[in-house]
Structure 1
Amino acid sequence: MHELGVVFYIIDAVTETAEANGVGHVDRVSLEVGEATGIVPDLFQEAWRWAADRTDLLRGAALSSVSVPAMNRCRACGLEYPAFPAGPTCPSCGSGDTVLAAGDDVTIVSIEVT
Structure 2
Amino acid sequence: MHELGVTFHIMDYVERVAEENDVTRVNKVALELGEVSTVIESYLHSCWKWAVAKRPLFTDCELEVETIPAVTFCEDCGKTYGTVAHGKTCPYCGGGNTFLIQGNEFNIKEIEVE
Shared fold, TM over 0.5: yes
Q: Secondary structure at the match of 2:30?
A: strand
Q: Secondary structure at the match of 2:85?
A: coil
- Relative to the length of structure 2, the TM-score reads 0.90
Q: For structure 1, which runs of at least 5 residues remain unmatched after alignment?
A: none
1:61 & 1:9 partners in 2: Cα distance? 16
Q: For structure 2, which runs of at least 5 residues remain unmatched after alignment?
A: none
Instruction: Point out the more displaced range, 53-62 or 70-79.
Output: 70-79
1:16 & 1:92 partners in 2: Cα distance? 47
RMSD across aligned positions (CA):
1.4
Shift of 1:96: 0.5
List aligned pairs for 1:63-78, cutoff 5 A.
Answer: 63-78=63-78
Q: Secondary structure at the match of 1:23?
A: coil
Is 2:37 the partner of 1:37? yes
1:21 & 1:76 partners in 2: Cα distance? 49
Is 2:9 the partner of 1:9? yes
Divergent runs of 4+, >6 A:
none
Partner amino acid for 1:63? L
- Relative to the length of structure 1, the TM-score reads 0.90
2:17 & 2:77 partners in 1: Cα distance? 41
